[in-house]
C-alpha cells in the first residue's frame, strides 16, 4: 500500500502555469492530501500551511507535467534478429519499463497509440507500478496490406502475439465495425486507424491512402456509440489525411504531407495535428541505421518525408491549426525533446509548452483534471533548470528536468540539496 500523500508547499521557483507566458517569480504551489493543487501563484496571494512539507525549488522553473498524446510503450527500435526473440511477457516488461522511465523524465500522462494492452494502464492507475496516467488504443486498425498489417513480402510476420490485443486487420464497413468493437471490448480508450501507409511497414508507402471514407466513418461511429474518448488517424499522405477528416476522426497523427485543403478541413472541424518529430529524427539517426535498428526501406521512406514534414508543419502552424504534442516515442526514446522540435519548426517556446499541457489535456478529455497549474487540478508538475521560454533547447537534455510530481507524490527529485 502506498504511503499517504502529505500536504506540500513548493516554493521559490519561477512558475509557468500553462495558461500565460508571463512567469510568476518566486511562485508558490500548495498541494493537499488528495494530491490536488490547493493554490498556485505568487507569495502575495498564496501562503503555505504550517503543517505542509516544504520543498525549495529556488532557481528552477515549474510547469505542468508533460502530456504525450502519441507513444508506443510496447515498441522498440531494434534489429529483426532481436525482435523475433520477444515474447508477450517481454513486451509487458518493456511497457512497464517505458512507463517508469518516461514518468521519471517528466511525462505524467500519455496516450498509447498502439500495441499496448489495457492491463498496463490499470497497472499504472492502481499504483502497483510507477507510470504515467495512461489511455490506450490497443491494436491499431489496418486494411489488408496496410500499415498495421505485419505481413512482409517473404510471407513472414515479425510480430509478437498478445492474447489481450484482438486482431485488427479488416476490410469493408462491417468488418471494421467488428474490429472496432473487439478493441473496445479489450479496454481501448481510443481507436487508432491506419489511414495511410507508413515508414516502418515493408509493404506500403506513406503516400498511399488506406481505408475508404465509408470504412473510417464506420469506425468513428462505433467509437462514438461506445462513448470512448475518440479516434486517431495515422495519416501521412495527403489523400488519406483528408479521408480521415471527412470521416470524423478526432486527431491527425503525423500529417507529413498535408495540403491546404486538408488544413482547411482541420480548421473547419477543429481537429488538432499531432506531429511526431521525435520518431523522425530517431529514424534518421546514423547510429541506429548502422546498428540495423531501422530497416533500409524505412530509411528510404523517411528521407522522402523528412524535410516535407517540417515544411508542412510550419505551414499548418502559420495557418492556425491547433497543435497537440505527440512523439511516436518507442521504449528507449526521450519524449520531452519534442518540445524543442516544435518550438524550432514554427510553434515557438510557449505554444510548444501549451501543446504538451493545456492542448493535450483538452484532446484527452482531461481539461478539468490536468494541463495547468491552478487550484483544483491534480498536482502533476515538473521543475526544470533554466527558462524554457528563453532556452527551449533545454528540453533535449534529460538532466534539465530535475523534479517530477504526479498526483501530489514526488516521483523524481534530482536537485542538488
- Give me the residue spans of the domains in the chain: 8-65+372-413, 66-363
- pLDDT value of position 1: 52
List beta partners, residue 111. 135
The SS3 of residue 39 is strand
Q: Cα separation of 91 and 361, whole Å?
A: 27
Choose the catalytic residue: 121, 149, 192, 256.
Answer: 192
CA angle 95/100/105 to nearest 5° reads 125
Q: Residue 165 has which C-alpha cell?
A: 490485443
Taking 70 as the pLDDT cut, the residues of the chain under it are: 1, 417
Three-state DSSP class for residue 157: strand
Fold of 8-65+372-413: Urease, subunit C; domain 1 (2.30.40)
Q: Has 192 been annotated as catalytic?
A: yes
Top-level CATH class of 66-363? alpha beta
**Contact present, 106 and 388 (Cβ < 8 Å):** no
| Element of type H or E holding 41 | strand 37-42
311: helix, coil or strand?
A: helix
Q: How many CB atoms lie within 10 A of CB 381?
A: 30
As a whole number of angstroms, the distance between CA 66 and CA 23 comes to 17
pLDDT at position 81 is 87
Cβ atoms of 233 and 216 within 8 Å: the answer is: yes
Topology agreement, domain 8-65+372-413 and domain 66-363: no
- In this structure, what are the phi and psi dihedrals at residue 79, rounded to the nearest 5 degrees? -60, 155
Alpha-carbon span 333 to 120, nearest angstrom: 19
The half-sphere exposure of 372 on its side-chain side, counting CA atoms within 13 A, is 15
Q: Is 89 helix (H, G, I), strand (E, B) or coil?
A: helix
Distance CA 110, CA 104 (A): 13
The per-residue pLDDT for 153 is: 83
Q: Please state, in angstroms and rounded to a whole number, the distance separating the CA atoms of residues 354 and 349.
A: 9
pLDDT of residue 417: 64
Using DSSP, state whether 389 is helix, strand or coil. coil
Q: Record the pTM.
A: 0.97
Annotated catalytic residue 242: no
Question: Count of alpha carbons within 13 Å of 42, Cβ hemisphere only?
Answer: 5
C-alpha cell at 238: 495527403
The partner residues of 64 in beta bridges, in order of sequence, read 381
Which residues, including other chains, have CB under 8 Å from residue 335's CB and lie 6 or more apart?
66, 68, 71, 102, 105, 107, 278, 327, 329
In a 3-state reduction of DSSP, which class is residue 355? helix
pLDDT at residue 332, rounded to an integer? 96
Please report how the helices 260-269 and 238-247 are oriented relative to each other, as an axis angle in degrees rounded to 10: 20
Query: Cβ(138)–Cβ(122) under 8 Å?
Result: no
Q: Residue 408 corresponds to which cell in the numbers above?
A: 501530489
Pull the grid cell for residue 358: 493545456
Angle at 355 between CA 351 and CA 360, to 5 degrees: 155
Alpha-carbon distance of 230 to 219, in angstroms, equals 10
Specify the pLDDT at position 43.
Answer: 86
| Secondary structure letter of residue 169 according to DSSP | B
- Residue tagged active-site, from 32, 189, 328, 380: 328
pLDDT value of residue 313:
98
* Contact between 198 and 234 (Cβ < 8 Å): yes
Cell of 417: 540539496
Amino acid at each position: 500500500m502506498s504511503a499517504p500523500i502529505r500536504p506540500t508547499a513548493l516554493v521559490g521557483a519561477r512558475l509557468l502555469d500553462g495558461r500565460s507566458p508571463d512567469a510568476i517569480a518566486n511562485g508558490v504551489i500548495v498541494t493537499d492530501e488528495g494530491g490536488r493543487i490547493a493554490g498556485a501563484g505568487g507569495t502575495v496571494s498564496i501562503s503555505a500551511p504550517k503543517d505542509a512539507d516544504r520543498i525549495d525549488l529556488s532557481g528552477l522553473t515549474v510547469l505542468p507535467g508533460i502530456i504525450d498524446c502519441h507513444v508506443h510503450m510496447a515498441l522498440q527500435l531494434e534489429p529483426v534478429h532481436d525482435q523475433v526473440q520477444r515474447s508477450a511477457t517481454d513486451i509487458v516488461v518493456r511497457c512497464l519499463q517505458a512507463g517508469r522511465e518516461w514518468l521519471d523524465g517528466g511525462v505524467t500522462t500519455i496516450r498509447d497509440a498502439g500495441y499496448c494492452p489495457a492491463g498496463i494502464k490499470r497497472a499504472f492507475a492502481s499504483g502497483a507500478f510507477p507510470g504515467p496516467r495512461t489511455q490506450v488504443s490497443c491494436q491499431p486498425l489496418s486494411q489488408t496490406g496496410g500499415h498495421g498489417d505485419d505481413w512482409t513480402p517473404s510471407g513472414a510476420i515479425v510480430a509478437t502475439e498478445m492474447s489481450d490485443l484482438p486482431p485488427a486487420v479488416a476490410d469493408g464497413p462491417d468488418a471494421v465495425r467488428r474490429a472496432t468493437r473487439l478493441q473496445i471490448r479489450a479496454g481501448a480508450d481510443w481507436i487508432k486507424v491506419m489511414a495511410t501507409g507508413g515508414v516502418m511497414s515493408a509493404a506500403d508507402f506513406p503516400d498511399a491512402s488506406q481505408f475508404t471514407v465509408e470504412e473510417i466513418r464506420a469506425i468513428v461511429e462505433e467509437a462514438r456509440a461506445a462513448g470512448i474518448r475518440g479516434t486517431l488517424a495515422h495519416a501521412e499522405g495527403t489523400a488519406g489525411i483528408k479521408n480521415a477528416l471527412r470521416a470524423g476522426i478526432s486527431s491527425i497523427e503525423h500529417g507529413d504531407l498535408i495540403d491546404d485543403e486538408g488544413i482547411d478541413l482541420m480548421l473547419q472541424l477543429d481537429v488538432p495535428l499531432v506531429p511526431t518529430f521525435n520518431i523522425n529524427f530517431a529514424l534518421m539517426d546514423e547510429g541506429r541505421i548502422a546498428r540495423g535498428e531501422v530497416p533500409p526501406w524505412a530509411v528510404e521512406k523517411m528521407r522522402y518525408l523528412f524535410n516535407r514534414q517540417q515544411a508542412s508543419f510550419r505551414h499548418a502552424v502559420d495557418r492556425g491549426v491547433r497543435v497537440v504534442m505527440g512523439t511516436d516515442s518507442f521504449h528507449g526514446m526521450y519524449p520531452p525533446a519534442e518540445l524543442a522540435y516544435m518550438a524550432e519548426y514554427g510553434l515557438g517556446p510557449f505554444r510548444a509548452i501549451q501543446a504538451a499541457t493545456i492542448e493535450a489535456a483538452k484532446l484527452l478529455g482531461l481539461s478539468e483534471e490536468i494541463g495547468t497549474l491552478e487550484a483544483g487540478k491534480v498536482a502533476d508538475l515538473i521543475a526544470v533548470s533554466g527558462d524554457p521560454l528563453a532556452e527551449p533547447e533545454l528540453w533535449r537534455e534529460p538532466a534539465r528536468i530535475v523534479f517530477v510530481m504526479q498526483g501530489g507524490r514526488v516521483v523524481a527529485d534530482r536537485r542538488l540539496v
